[in-house]
Amino acid sequence: MRFFLLILIVFNSCENSVEVAQYKNFVKLQGQNDHSGIIVKILELNQFSITDSMGYFELPDLADGKYSLEIKYPYFKTHKEEINFEKGHQANYINIELKRLFQFWIEPKDTSISLSDYSNQEPIYLNFFRQYRNNLSDSPIILKRTLAPSNIVSLLPDNNIWPFVTNEDNRHEFCYEMYGWFGSNDLIIDENEIIQPHNISSVEFSLYISNKDCIKEGKYLIYSAPSDQFNYPEYFEAAYFWNDSLPYPQPYNQLNKTLQRKLQLFEPSIIHFTK
């Protein structure tokens, strides 16, 4: 009996070792719990892989040789690394952490809005928010905008499933236009914003809600951050790139959507909608 148990223990240990060995390439984001959406690009081939929430990614089978990787995610320092393929296999593996460049937060951090203060068709304007950004690095950071908007805003329920919900209340299509990251790139603005090292700057922003029929009671998170379409077009360039509507939904860019999971990065404000 003891011999039989020993065999099982050894077998399970080997099985776990094989399972762990399969996961070899990792990229993490400094100070984050979710590491999804990081681009790992093979420059010579113009191909890229995307990390999952743990930071794991796979590379395709490549011909033997040396390749250059560019690893990037908005608001973190881009990293470059070389990999080698020998005899059809990846010879060295990636296990790095991207350094955080920005700290964001919004004031007020917590507020309440009573829907009873508004008539049924009256728009709700929330004009009292200010988004702060701090350059954590020792060098100036240049944000390059070739398209509008320069500052992105998001309003999401705390459960973070909007707008992929059924329309039991028969709400208008326009109710869904202001939820989630939103914006269009039909306006050329071509501007640069330079944020000096260890310098805290801020911008005011507002939210417009068509009327109170578009809002259910509950807890919502408000995100805000500067965009950078030039350095990160994969995240910031797409027609109505954070928009959706009921009859004709625009698919979310999955890279954009990963930004909403970075709570430690954006420190979203909380708004409570009450009766």
Q: Determine the 3-state secondary structure of 211 from DSSP.
A: coil
> How large is the average pLDDT for residues 250-262?
73
Instruction: Kindly report, residue by residue over 100-126, the tens digit of the pLDDT.
Output: 999 999 999 999 999 999 988 788 888
Provide the Cα torsion 177, 39, 267, 118; round to 10°. Answer: 0
Residue 147's φ and ψ, nearest 5 degrees, are -140, 160
pLDDT at 238: 53
Rg of the chain on CA atoms, in Å: 23
- Record the tokens describing residue 231, joined without a space: 């350095």
pLDDT at 88: 85
Question: Running DSSP on this structure, what letter comes out for residue 37?
Answer: T
> How large is the average pLDDT for residues 235-263?
62
Instruction: Check: CB of residue 84 under 8 Å from CB of residue 92.
Output: yes
Query: Quick one: which of 203, 255, 208, 224 has its CA closest to 152?
Result: 224
Query: Which domains does the chain show, CATH number per domain?
Result: 20-98 (2.60.40.4130), 102-274 (no CATH)
How many CA atoms lie less than 13 Å away from 123 in the CB half-sphere? 10
Q: Determine the 3-state secondary structure of 2 from DSSP.
A: helix
Among 70-79, 237-246, 252-261, the range scoring the smallest mean pLDDT is 237-246
